[in-house]
Amino acid sequence: MGSPKLLLKVQDEAIIDHVLRAWTTSRVDRVFVVVRDDDRSLQQRCQQWPVDVVLTKGATSDMRRSVEFGLKAIASTHSPNSFDRWLLAPADIPTINATVIDQVVVSGQGNCNIVLPTFSGQRGHPVSFPWSLSDEVFELPVDCGINRLLDGRHLLKTVAIAGSTPQFDIDTPEDLHSAYRIHDAKNR
């Protein structure tokens, strides 16, 4: 797309700013963002927000590796217990919002299920996991991603999110144009 996608703008704001605004205005206690150590522009942008920036040495091979870095950082700095949860969402979903995050947070309180939001029947983000499943991420077979935790071996609670903007990540110029259209429609 010509430049780092998280720094691309939807209207007048970088995608990462849309995303971090949603997270930092939600009910979560802490926000961790995993960033390559050589991506100085993204690091600087993230450091403008009240978030913990976790650096990886170079690019990670997949989302699972990024999650592992994040989970290690959480474990080493916050000593989570069995009542804690961790939420996961890619950073390239500019339509994520604090209301959706809060619905997932509330739905996860007091239970040991994985909480998965759905939008018109489609799975979305963020997904909320009990901390007790964090070790399983590291035990997954090498060729498996985080979605493996959603394969039916664990209790799964779906939360239908009504009236929310459809979620999609930005992978193509067409996705970016869709984000522009959605942003325009919301601001009319």
CA separation for the pair 28, 30 (Å, rounded):
6
pLDDT digits (tens, 9 = 90+) for 24-66: 999 999 999 999 999 999 999 999 999 999 999 977 778 899 9
Q: What is the mean pLDDT of the chain?
A: 87
Q: What are the structural domains of the chain?
A: 5-186 (3.90.550.10)
pLDDT digits (tens, 9 = 90+) for 93-143: 888 999 999 999 999 998 789 999 998 888 899 999 999 999 999 999 989
* In the predicted structure, residue 3 carries a pLDDT above the cut 70: no
pLDDT value at position 88? 97
* In the predicted structure, residue 186 carries a pLDDT above the cut 60: no
Confidence of residue 166 (pLDDT cuts 50, 70, 90): low
pLDDT value at position 111? 79
